[in-house]
Structure 1
Amino acid sequence: MDDLSPSQITLPGGYVGELCARHDTPAFRQWLATLPAVLAGSEARLIYRLRNRIYRVADPSNPSGPGLCVKAFKAPPLLRAIHYRSVGSKAARSHRFALHLHAHGAGATEPIGYFERWQGLRLVECYLLTRFLEDSTDLYSEMSRLLREDPDAEKYLALLRFAAVATRRMHDCGFAHNDLGGQNLLLRRTGDAAWADPVFIDLNRGDLLPSVSLRARARDLAKLEIPSHFRRIFFQMYFDDGAIPREFARWENWQRLRITFHNESRKYRHPIRHWIQSRRHIVISTGRPSYRDTWLWDEKSGQPSVVLESRDRRRYRHSSDLFRVATANLRGAPALWKSYRELRRQAYVQPVELRDRFGLCVEVTSDFPSTLKVLAEVPGIPVLVRCYFSKGAAGIDACASAIAQLVEAGHEVSLGVIQSRRAILAPAEWQAFLAEVFRRLHAQVRFVEIGHAVNRVKWGMWGIREIVSLWENVAEMRRLYPQLTILGPAVNDFEYHYYAPLLSRMNGLLDGVSNHLYVDRRGAPENFQGRFSLLEKCILGRAMAESHGLRGFYVTETNWPLTGAGEHSPLAGAYTPKHYVESALHVDESTYAAYMVRYALIALCSGMTERVWWWRMAARGYGLMDDVGGLTPRVAWRALVQYHKTIGRDRFLRREEREGAIWWHFEKHIVVYALAPTCATVPAGCACADMEGQPLLADGSLAVSGAPIYFSH
């Protein structure tokens, strides 16, 4: 006989039930008869009590073991008890379903048995016995722990994959849970991002089915509370990293709407309970951060992960910000566009010294000596280092060490101070962090950018007031360290409408306006977005700064995503399923390098941008080097070295268009490229090199394309 095959039992006191063969001994039966008294005494440990009670008791067959878990169900009303006569009580159903899951290895703790007592048609007592799970937690608790203590997207995804695989196994064995909240999936943490022994509990509402339909699967999974972006990823993992079936998506969406309506209508269905909770300020909390406060860092792409889909993000935005943005822009429009028209006429007119204007961003890693070694190829290039609030004091220490080494190597260093959502939730901690960063690093840096991509909710900001709150103690920092140039508010992309309401509230806190001016969605930097190419965007950025009395426009982050980067791409959203189709915005390495040089020429030689820092030196998905398995230079790195040793130390004189090409004239060099292939005459007496610095042989004329060519006098 199978150790878990159940047998019917009858106990003194009118108790009936089932007991697995492994435990069906006279001694165990005798102990069972005393269990109600044991639960009422001091030997049993009450570990949960709401509608039902859960106890931990010693196993009489193995007193030194983990013990037994006893769930004592509340006696049901008469009509429901009558129904239980035909379908089985909660304990009977839970035991039957646990036996099924355990037999299929589909996530059930060892079932032991159940027993109950009836008085006529009434169910008076009802008990379920299973093996107690030591060191167990549940899915929601682990999600909450990661979000609060270790907000790493890769670990969060590992947890979701563990849950998706366990849930799929449960469904594939023919069981639908019908109450699948994350609290009903127990697990045991075995490592930093590893879990084992999934166990489904509260099985009494389930169904055994010949085959669990997509509709039934959707009904189960719709109850899981996972932020919408990661919920979609969870479903893809559930379907073996494949596409989500349309029928499943349709039923899941309907079930989620039904659940949302049920939750939001609770105050109408239970008005007295709602009124009491409101009067007493009772908040029912799961311990999980709200979707609005969920923040996860994606190390592969070097940014926070998207957490919510766009429709959900819109629900949490402050509608009053629309009015603030509109009124501030209307108020400042006359001065802004007057300045823009004047600056438009000045583009490329004045000579520009390019020394120290084009730099790059580096990350502080455990192998920073390798970074320093590579930087020796571009001696003295300006470097921007980021200091992350999420890394705390250890991050400040690492930045201080790296900056000291960079300064010693002859680099001008600037600093970006990067917030997380916690900067808003715990403003005192953020202000203390900012003060410590300034105190420790002010003597070795020149520019300090405070905040990052403040118009992107994934970086932790949900509105104008939250953004401005980051700057609460900056006035004191400026007073203490007047030699520093303070940049902000670090708006991302060409969303300049955020500047007017922000800059008007930051009067006296800034020296220059910073932007992460990506143009990758338009392709080449010369391409237009409406009436604005990169040139016009830089002009408008400088006009925005000058119309608010600030000195200059700074680009502190930009790049293009590279093809073939997979999950490392900044556009991948931390996960790529089997059917992942790479966005058309990705470019190959040679195109990336050409765009980088052309971006620098337009932004800096126009005189409209004070500085550009390229993000970043090393990254698999978008860097000048691949940083997986060491630092591997790409075409763009060699293009930067060529730029730095030639025009990076030269003086721009003028720009002209002839022979179908664009010519950039410097005191010692000429750079030429064409937006469409053409041939250009080689200037007399000039040596010629390609974008990477390799010599080119030319006899009178030269084929020119989008890759810049260098002529040296």
Structure 2
Amino acid sequence: MKQPFIWDNYSDQPYPLKDKIYKKSMRKKEFLSLLKTFLISIFTLPISLLAIPFVRKKSIKNSDFFCIGVDYQREKDVTIELINELGAERVLVRFKLWEMETLNELKEFILAMSQRKITLKILQDREHIEDLGLLKKDLDTIFSTLHEIVDIFEIGSTINRAKWGFFSVDEYNRFYKVAYNLKISKFPHAKLIGSGVIDFEYHFTAHTLFNFFRYSYDGISSLLYVDRRGAPENMQLGFDLSDKIALLSAMVWLSPKSTHELHITETNWPITGTAPYAPTSEHECVSEELYGDFMLRYYLLAFASAQVNSVSWHQLIAPGYGLVDNRDGIRKRTAFTAYKFMVSSLKNAQFLRLDIKRHYYIFQCLVDNNLLQIHWSLKPTTLKNEDYFEVFSKNGKKIENEILNIGSSPIYIYIKNGTN
């Protein structure tokens, strides 16, 4: 990665572009593509909205749904131990195209993952966007080295933020097509997903799904952050998280470019008091307790949609937004235990329904033929702990209080003998 693009090792992302003249000139150069993005979206987004009721729910494989993002160069041995403890069977690993010399290191790390399924997120830089010959050469090397041990390749990421290197969707379309052509010519069994649009900016996604480029996706990736709106149930332009998922799924369902697979390959909340490691300002940061609440509720809402094939939490070890803080040794946050208990409780669950009434949520599923309800409420309330309840906190601690406090933190209620 070369200037004016600079990587921030604290927050694991590029710094904002400071060269405003360069940024403006590049936007101007890509004006026609930006115009196409606008025109495509004003036609396809309304149609996608109308299509939402017709999109069928999918059968989601639980073992693939719970995915955890990791850095293969950060606390390697500890990372493998923590992944084993969490129980997640899918792992997402980032790889930077400007660090090709670490490819063998990445391969060794993946081989140590004990047969877990790997999603490899290939991060771009401006050099590979501008030099498609270089991109082809390096992708060929990556695919040749890893195609037998990587389940999914995510091609590119965060394409709607200039600091990540792309100044238009057409630049990304050309970038992705290089990977697609390699798949067709040499690696027919490689599974490629894109386009990695961040946040609720589906006009960019629309341009990647509806265009005349000769390529296709094996699934669509989205960095569906909702942290700037606070809780996952909060609204943005009239859409909460469930609505955003439904609209995106409808777009994928309508598109001739992709199979009906949807992978959320990045999401989290930044944690208060962790600057400069937090990837956003302090205004968006939340406490560690809320971080765990929001994470669990995000997963439950995505699971209940029956539209999302996997959700990757970003990420395992990161001081500003991870399940583990490694600034002074290894400290597991409460969200680590919440993630672990979530996976162990739901990895074999059969989802039944999500009931919502007056900001009170009840996620219902069957676990080994026993009814499990997970309750939370946006407005604190109480519930009597019945004799036929077996109740656990989000971290797996048994609760035996006569009156249950239902609020931000979800609680697990097993209904004994299937009583409802």
Q: State whether TM-score is above 0.5.
A: yes
Give % identity: 27
Q: Which of structures 1 and 2 has the bigger CA Rg?
A: 1
| Residue number in structure 1 paired with 2:31 | 319
**CA offsets per residue over residues 686-712 of structure 1, 9 Å max, x none?**
32111111111132x311111010123
**Distance apart, 1:323 and its partner CA:** 1.7
2:166 to 445, 449, 461: 461
What is the DSSP-based 3-state SS (H/G/I as helix, E as strand, rest coil) of the residue aligned with 2:172?
Answer: helix
| Residue number in structure 2 paired with 1:445 | 150
What is the DSSP-based 3-state SS (H/G/I as helix, E as strand, rest coil) of the residue aligned with 2:68?
Answer: strand
The letter for the 1-side match of 2:164 is: W
Contact 2:66 2:310 in 1 (8 A): yes
Whole-angstrom distance in 2 between the partners of 1:659 and 1:544 = 29
* 1:556-567 equivalent positions in 2, closer than 5 A: 556-567=265-276
What is the DSSP-based 3-state SS (H/G/I as helix, E as strand, rest coil) of the residue aligned with 2:282?
Answer: coil
Whole-angstrom distance in 1 between the partners of 2:286 and 2:375 = 21
Contact 1:357 1:611 in 2 (8 A): yes
- 1:532 maps onto 2:239 in alignment: yes
Whole-angstrom distance in 2 between the partners of 1:414 and 1:351 = 20
- 1:637 maps onto 2:336 in alignment: yes
Give TM-score scaled by structure 2 length: 0.90
Contact 2:69 2:316 in 1 (8 A): yes
- 1:497 maps onto 2:203 in alignment: yes
| Residue number in structure 1 paired with 2:80 | 372
What is the DSSP-based 3-state SS (H/G/I as helix, E as strand, rest coil) of the residue aligned with 1:399?
Answer: helix
* 1:166-177 equivalent positions in 2, closer than 5 A: none
Whole-angstrom distance in 2 between the partners of 1:453 and 1:369 = 29
**Distance apart, 1:445 and its partner CA:** 1.6
Whole-angstrom distance in 2 between the partners of 1:510 and 1:439 = 20
| Residue number in structure 2 paired with 1:671 | 374
Whole-angstrom distance in 1 between the partners of 2:79 and 2:380 = 37
* 1:691-706 equivalent positions in 2, closer than 5 A: 691-699=394-402, 701-706=403-408
What is the DSSP-based 3-state SS (H/G/I as helix, E as strand, rest coil) of the residue aligned with 2:399?
Answer: coil
Whole-angstrom distance in 1 between the partners of 2:80 and 2:45 = 45
- 1:397 maps onto 2:96 in alignment: no
The letter for the 2-side match of 1:596 is: M
Whole-angstrom distance in 1 between the partners of 2:411 and 2:254 = 37
Contact 1:351 1:652 in 2 (8 A): no
| Residue number in structure 2 paired with 1:484 | 190
| Residue number in structure 2 paired with 1:419 | 124
CA separation of 1:671/1:465 partners in 2, compared to 1, >3 Å: closer, same or farther? Answer: same
| Residue number in structure 1 paired with 2:223 | 516
Whole-angstrom distance in 2 between the partners of 1:445 and 1:678 = 46
| Residue number in structure 1 paired with 2:135 | 430
What is the DSSP-based 3-state SS (H/G/I as helix, E as strand, rest coil) of the residue aligned with 2:140?
Answer: helix
Structure with more contact order per residue of length (Cα contacts < 8 Å, sep ≥ 6): 2
Contact 2:317 2:324 in 1 (8 A): yes
**CA offsets per residue over residues 61-88 of structure 1, 9 Å max, x none?**
xxxxxxxxxxxxxxxxxxxxxxxxxxxx
The letter for the 2-side match of 1:320 is: L
Contact 1:359 1:383 in 2 (8 A): yes
Whole-angstrom distance in 1 between the partners of 2:381 and 2:45 = 41
Structure 1's unaligned 5+ residue stretches are: 1-146, 149-288, 572-581
**Distance apart, 1:505 and its partner CA:** 4.3
Contact 2:385 2:401 in 1 (8 A): yes
**Distance apart, 1:474 and its partner CA:** 2.1
**Distance apart, 1:400 and its partner CA:** 0.6
| Residue number in structure 2 paired with 1:339 | 51
CA separation of 1:461/1:629 partners in 2, compared to 1, >3 Å: closer, same or farther? Answer: same
Contact 1:659 1:679 in 2 (8 A): no
**Distance apart, 1:360 and its partner CA:** 0.8
**CA offsets per residue over residues 213-234 of structure 1, 9 Å max, x none?**
xxxxxxxxxxxxxxxxxxxxxx
* 1:129-140 equivalent positions in 2, closer than 5 A: none
What is the DSSP-based 3-state SS (H/G/I as helix, E as strand, rest coil) of the residue aligned with 2:167?
Answer: coil
What is the DSSP-based 3-state SS (H/G/I as helix, E as strand, rest coil) of the residue aligned with 1:554?
Answer: strand
**CA offsets per residue over residues 191-220 of structure 1, 9 Å max, x none?**
xxxxxxxxxxxxxxxxxxxxxxxxxxxxxx
Q: How many residues align?
A: 405
Whole-angstrom distance in 2 between the partners of 1:631 and 1:483 = 39
1:305 to 12, 15, 19: 15
**CA offsets per residue over residues 562-592 of structure 1, 9 Å max, x none?**
0011111102xxxxxxxxxx53210000100
- 1:662 maps onto 2:353 in alignment: no
**CA offsets per residue over residues 509-530 of structure 1, 9 Å max, x none?**
3111111000011100000001
Contact 2:296 2:338 in 1 (8 A): yes
CA separation of 1:659/1:543 partners in 2, compared to 1, >3 Å: closer, same or farther? Answer: closer
What is the DSSP-based 3-state SS (H/G/I as helix, E as strand, rest coil) of the residue aligned with 1:508?
Answer: coil
What is the DSSP-based 3-state SS (H/G/I as helix, E as strand, rest coil) of the residue aligned with 2:266?
Answer: coil
Whole-angstrom distance in 2 between the partners of 1:379 and 1:673 = 24
**CA offsets per residue over residues 601-624 of structure 1, 9 Å max, x none?**
111211121211111111011111
**CA offsets per residue over residues 601-648 of structure 1, 9 Å max, x none?**
111211121211111111011111112243321011111011011023
Contact 2:68 2:88 in 1 (8 A): no
**Distance apart, 1:399 and its partner CA:** 1.2
* 1:40-119 equivalent positions in 2, closer than 5 A: none
| Residue number in structure 2 paired with 1:354 | 62
Whole-angstrom distance in 1 between the partners of 2:359 and 2:197 = 36
2:390 to 687, 693, 699: 687
Whole-angstrom distance in 2 between the partners of 1:366 and 1:535 = 33
- 1:628 maps onto 2:339 in alignment: no
CA separation of 1:598/1:507 partners in 2, compared to 1, >3 Å: closer, same or farther? Answer: farther
- 1:384 maps onto 2:92 in alignment: yes
* 1:180-195 equivalent positions in 2, closer than 5 A: none
Structure 2's unaligned 5+ residue stretches are: 416-420
**Distance apart, 1:552 and its partner CA:** 2.0
Whole-angstrom distance in 2 between the partners of 1:655 and 1:663 = 6
CA separation of 1:506/1:679 partners in 2, compared to 1, >3 Å: closer, same or farther? Answer: farther
Whole-angstrom distance in 2 between the partners of 1:471 and 1:361 = 22
The letter for the 1-side match of 2:295 is: M
Whole-angstrom distance in 1 between the partners of 2:299 and 2:388 = 26
Give the CA RMSD over aligned residues: 2.2
**CA offsets per residue over residues 309-368 of structure 1, 9 Å max, x none?**
77974453133233211222244346423322434xx67xx8755332021101011531
| Residue number in structure 1 paired with 2:284 | 585
